[in-house]
Structure formats: structure tokens, C-alpha cells
Amino acid sequence: MTGRLRDAVARRLGVDTRALAAFRVALAAIVLADLALRTRFLRAFYTDAGIYPRSLLFEQYGALARLSVHALSGGPWLQAALFLATAVAALAMLAGYRTTLATLVTGLLVGSLHLRNPLVLNSGDTLLRMLLFWAVFAPLGERWSVDALRAESPPRGRVLGVATTGLLAQVVVVYSVNAVLKLRGDVWLSGEAVRQVLELDMFTVLLGDALAEFPALVVAFDHLWLAALAGSVLLVVLTGWPRAGFAALFAAMHAGMFVSMQLAVFPLVSIAALLPFLPRAVWDRAPGWRAVPGVRDLPLNEYARSIERALPALALPSLPPRVVHLKDRAVPALLAVGLAVLLVWNVATVAPADVPEVGPVDDQPEPRWSMFAPTPLATDLWVVAPATLDDGSSVDAFHGGPVTWDEPPDVAGSYPSSRWRKYTANVRRLDDLAVSNAFADYLCTRWNDSHDTDLTSVEVFVVEQPVNLDGPDPTERVELAAKNCSA
């Protein structure tokens, strides 16, 4: 009976080492892609000349902000160096070269980068950090890696441990918490939620505009997604091909988000997080990935070996046996505590407000995974920054063209990136004059540094347009800041 129970647990919480390898490659590739996208706005997002100078960061986040190595300097040179260091670590992680160390360094640098400017982050960034944490302790380099080619022992087929359990639990927790929050609102149950989301022009791109023309299909997607979220625990209950099919459903829905909405890295991170759920049957069916006795089962084997020959076989200092023994006991125990905290914290965030002895509503932890829940956002917004030049003419300091208050033809495209849209939404939500003034200061500095005619003053507005599914959408101008650029 014990053996049968152990096998049942292993089939549900164990992870194929090929799935872990694919997860490693996907996670590293996402970090590299995200770095490339952030590099375009390195000065704006991460220097003292940008929208969030360190003085404001330290004022709002205190000692926590000083944990970020990106906050050691306000100049662009340090940011560029740290971006390069993160890219090198992520490349090492992708190749599986000193995988654990590379994953640790990548995770620390990504966390530091996120802490430098929290105003441009979304749930995808939070999930990425959580996955990198669990990844540090999982055997990601056991297959398809330089480490695997240099290993003296053959790779295992499936691994079961606290770290792999944490990877799976993290994903189920995200979906389950989001499901509970969505079920608290009537919009998702009515089938109108996805339609309302697609009416938010500041999010929708590509396929999103086309889907809005098929309301019956949108309602079906709404119900399908809500049902999948509510049943997400099946990701660990099911085994074999049923589990693979259910994970594929989630991946397909996230792929749909990727081609219809601007959500930064969230859809890609979510797809990568589903890879560890893919069972052995899937990898055995993939050409060239089936385990062959006595052969390193690595796709593009010759290419991988050329990488392995090019990289130095640096020997890290070995730990004393007593320390190794202590580490082998302490790390799983600490991870188990972390897993318990993860579960308890997330349960607390969705516990009913009237649960006895939990505390007043204002003291309840904020739900971390409240993506479009319990109801989607109901207001579009875009930026208008009318500014006056030395010669008396006017210009929009944010877009660089003439000042217009009309809705842009492409609201999502009116932002330089989805992170600018997230930043703008956070500035509006915080309603903090210091944050808004930093935005205006940046617009003054950016314009005056790149134009012959200086700005003398600038105002920053967001134009809000409530989503109205059954009629015209009115607009309202909300002033965020007004700045004398000469001062």
C-alpha cells in the first residue's frame, strides 16, 4: 500500500527532467527577451534622470529599496553594466552551464531590477521571480545542458522534491486564487468579462480587435477560462495525457492573450510555468527527445557539444562533508517552510473578510494574483501632456506631436510599450503628487536634452474613458501634474 501511494504521489508531483530542461530554456529566454525590451527605456525607467529617481524610490520603499544593486547609482552606466551581467547569467542558464549558480545569479539580478522601479511591473514579473526562486533548487541542468554533458552519472528520468513540488504548487496557487477572486464578481459569471476586457483599447492589439466582433465566441472564452481556473487543481490531480491536454488548454489560452492583449511578459511566463506539468509520455513522443540507454538525450547534440567544448570547465570549491550533510538536510526543510508559507499566505489573501479573529479588512493581505478580478478594469486611459515652448508654441511633450484630446486611433499603440501603460495606470492610481511631478520632470528633461527649443512648462493629463458596452463612451480629463520646466 505504501509503495502504491508513493507511486501515486510521484506521478503527480514528480517532474520529468526533460520538462525541467525545457522550463530552464524557456525561463532564460524570457529573461533575455524582457531585458532587450527594457533596454529601450533604460534611462527613463532606471536612472535619476527618468520617471522614478532613486530619491523617490528610497522615500517610498525605504530600506527595502536599498537591497537593489540597481539603486547604487543613478547613472546609466551601472544600469547598462547590470543589464549585461543579467544577460550573461541568463545565457549561462539557458545553456545549462553551472546551472544552479547561473539561475541564482539571474534570479537575484532580476529581483534587483524589479525592485528598482516597481511602477512598471505586473503579475507576470511577480510570477517570474517566484519561478526563478523555485528553479534555483530544482535540477534544471540534468538534461539538455553543458552540465549534463560533463556529468559522470546518467540523468534521472523523473525527480520528486520540495522544489519541484513548489514549482507545480506555485502555478496552481496563481490560478486558484484568481478563480476565487473572479467568482466573487458577477461580470465573469455573466460571460461579459472578456468582452469588457477587449473593449479596453489600451490593452487590445492584433487579434483582440477582431475577437471583439464575435460576442458569442468571446462569451464562450469567458466561461471556458473561468471553468479552467476553477478546476486548475486538476493540473496536479490528473496524470499522463489528460494532464498534458489540460496544461495545453491553459497554454492555448495564454497564447491567445499574447496575440490579443499587451500584458508584457505575463503570457510567456505563464506558458513556461506549464512546462513542468508535461508528463513523460509527451517527451517520449517528441522526436529525438526520447531517452536512449547509454546516450545523452540532447536535441541538437553536436551544437550542444560545441558549446560545451567552448566553455571552460571551471571547478567550484567543494564544501566540507559536514556542510554538505547539513545543507542536504536544511535546504529541503527551509523550502518546505517556504511552500507552507506560500500556501497559507495565498489562502489568507482570499479568505472572507468576515472570518473571525483575522483582523479588520484594512489589515488583510492584498491578493497577489487579482488579474482582472473580481471585475475587469472598466476605464481606458491615455496620456496628453500639453507643453509650452520658448517660442510660445505648444506641443505634446509625451508624444512629440500637436496637442489633441481625442481618442487615439490605437490607444495601446499610443504608449511606447506596455510598461509605459502600466506606469501611467499606477501614477493615476497612486494619486501621489511626488510621483506625478517626477513624470513631468522627466518630460521636461527629455525634451530639453534632445531639442533646440526648450520647454518652459508642461502639464500631464490622463484622459479617462469608461467602457460602455451599449453606447458612446464619454471622456474626462484628469490633471496629474503641472511643472515649470525653467525652474
Which residue, among 218, 377, 172, has the nearest Cα to 209 in the 3D structure? 218
Which of 24-38, 340-354, 377-391 is the least confident region?
340-354
The b-or-e profile of 216-233 (16+ CB within 10 A means b, else e) is eebbebbeebbebbbebe
Cβ partners under 8 Å of residue 332, min gap 6: 161, 162
- What is the rounded distance in angstroms from the CA atom of residue 107 to the CA atom of residue 101? 10
Those residues whose C-beta lies under 8 Å from the C-beta of residue 227, and which sit 6 or more positions away, are none
Tens-place pLDDT, residues 129-186: 999 999 999 999 998 888 888 777 788 888 998 899 999 999 999 999 999 999 888 8
* CA–CA distance, 448 with 458 (Å, rounded to integer): 12
Do 411 and 201 meet the contact criterion of CB atoms below 8 Å apart?
yes
Residues making up the chain, counted from first to last:
487
Tell me if residue 466 falls in helix, strand or coil: strand
444 in Cβ contact with 485 (< 8 Å) = yes
Longest C-alpha distance within the chain, in Å? 86
pLDDT tens digits, residue range 316-333? 666 566 655 565 677 777
Tell me what pLDDT residue 288 has. Answer: 53
Enter the pTM of the model: 0.90
**Closest CA relative to residue 234, chosen from 250, 246, 226:** 246
| ∠ Cα 84 271 235 (to 5°) | 140
pLDDT at 232: 94
Which pLDDT score is estimated for 325? 54
Over 60: is that where the pLDDT of 339 sits?
Answer: yes
Look at residue 471 in the predicted model and tell me its pLDDT.
Answer: 58
pLDDT of residue 294: 36
> What torsion do the CA atoms of 247, 167, 265, 441 make, to the nearest 10 degrees?
150
The better pLDDT of the pair 35, 487 is held by: 35
d(CA 379, CA 420) in angstroms, rounded, equals: 17
